[in-house]
Structure 1
């Protein structure tokens, strides 16, 4: 009995770390979403006022676009943990309770697989190892690999595009963490707890 408890301790610890990381990440995403919503509203209002005043700010439009992009990806990550992602229940709602549970596990597992695949894709695309080998010289990296990610800049803000594109790897990692937490709950390895700060009804769909 003692040996079994010792053997299970690392697993239980790892499960707790995943769920805790997901909870902290969700809390941060909630604050980020509220901040981006306020920022987007302010940008649109300023844009409307300045246009009617015949003194438009040329970089407002691009700022609003990138704000929406970050808002979308952060929101999609939070929706993964809240189980608000799209679900087609036309077939699964006709299955038995056991088969519904299996379908839910498969669907959640596919989210994790997609997240891991996206992490690998972002790693290959952003090529941090290649950038380090080039001495963090973006032009040298572009000349050797034709990867112009670190040499491009936005049109009006004149910001490095890679800074804005960081939303993709961040989304990939956060979605994977949330997916793992959901998978642990679906496998009944950890108790399912309601998220803090979100008023949601219980969702029965397989997602």
Structure 2
């Protein structure tokens, strides 16, 4: 029955909610896959340490993979409105005031993502990177070493792992906008 209600809610919300729902389905698979990778990395770490020749890079890679899984999970939580919430005030409000407050919460989340987007744009500085002849020149002129900083043990540039931040920004913005659109259209959204 809950899936029927969910489908009705998505149908009322329109294209944005349908895209959000499809993205969330992909995110579920990605998060599950990443958690399996973390488990396998930790298992590999246990085995190699017990054999007396630990692989140092496994710990660092497991941390980065867990961060990816956590941010993908956070995006799913935004889509489903499953994050921890203090509902004492909203539970005491009349329906109209509760709806207005929840719309404000959804709008505030979009403001958060707008600020995050500006921060990421400035940090990743794609215009500056494209204008520079080399990454070394970009780093020297901007003192921004995001594209050159190596990981400690994996021998990769950290930027490959930091790319989860723009991905989280895009998916979280989409989910927050879909939630706000659903709520504005009078769809479910009491959570």
Could you state the TM-score of these two structures normalised by the residue count of structure 1? Answer: 0.82
Distance 1:35 1:86 in 2: 24
Post-superposition shift, 1:157?
0.5
Match of 1:29 among 13, 27, 47: 27
Distance 1:16 1:160 in 2: 40
- Identify the residue that residue 166 of structure 1 maps to in structure 2: 163
CA–CA distance in structure 2, aligned partners of residues 35 and 108 of structure 1? 29
1:1-207 → structure 2 map (5 Å cutoff): 16-135=14-133, 137-188=134-185, 191-192=187-188, 204-205=190-191
Q: How many residues align?
A: 179
Structure 1 position 24, deviation (Å): 1.9
Q: CA shift at 1:78, angstroms?
A: 0.6
Q: Distance in 2 between matches of 1:123 and 1:16?
A: 29
**Deviant stretches of 4+, over 2 Å:** none
| Residue 204 of structure 1: how far off its partner (Å) | 4.2
Partner SS, residue 117 of structure 1: helix
Give the secondary-structure state (helix, strand or coil) at the position aligned to 2:145.
coil
Partner Cα distance (1:99, 1:61) in 2: 49
How many angstroms does 1:93 deviate by? Answer: 0.9
List gaps (5 residues or longer) in structure 1: 1-14, 193-202
Question: How far apart in 1 are the matches of 2:131 and 2:170?
Answer: 24
Residue segments in structure 2 that go unaligned for 5+ positions in a row: 1-12
More helix by share: 2
Give the superposition deviation at 1:115: 1.0
CA–CA distance in 2 between the matches of 1:180 and 1:68? 26
CA distance in 1 between counterparts of 2:15 and 2:131 reads: 33
Query: Per the alignment, in what secondary structure is the counterpart of residue 88 of structure 1?
Result: coil
RMSD value over aligned CA atoms?
Answer: 1.5
Q: Distance in 1 between the 2:92 and 2:104 partners?
A: 17
User: What do residues 165-188 of structure 1 show as CA deviations (whole Å, max 9, x unaligned)?
Assistant: 011111111111000110011112
